[in-house]
Amino acid sequence: MAKQDKATEKETSRAWPPETTRQHLRAARAEMREAFKTLFPSGFIEHRRAARREMLLAARSMIDHALERMEKQD
């Protein structure tokens, strides 16, 4: 095995979590999403997504305000 191949293998084996774990987590996430779609009406999913967006916008606004205050102090 070439030195480069060994180096790449070491880097890959150090990744956390391992790639196989990541693949299983992605598959579990996809299955969970499908389960939610069957458990809840579509309106619930849409409302949840809109609420999440609003929470993220509120967080962005708070961060922007804090940055402005820091800049005024300098």
Range of the domain at 42: 14-73
Secondary structure E strands in 4-63: none
Is residue 28, in this structure, part of any structural domain at all?
A: yes
In a domain, 29, yes or no: yes
Residue-by-residue pLDDT tens, the chain, 74 positions = 556 666 555 555 678 889 999 999 999 999 999 998 899 998 998 999 999 999 999 999 999 999 999 999 87
- For 45, other C-beta atoms within 10 Å of its C-beta total 14
Say if CB 28 and CB 37 are below 8 A apart.
Answer: no
Q: Which residue matches tokens 């992605």?
A: 26
On whether residue 3 sits in a domain, the answer given is: no
Q: Is residue 57 part of a domain?
A: yes
Give residue-wise pLDDT tens across range 34-55: 998 899 998 998 999 999 999 9
- Do 1 and 8 contact (CB within 8 A), yes or no? no
| 43, part of any domain | yes
Count of structural domains, the chain: 1
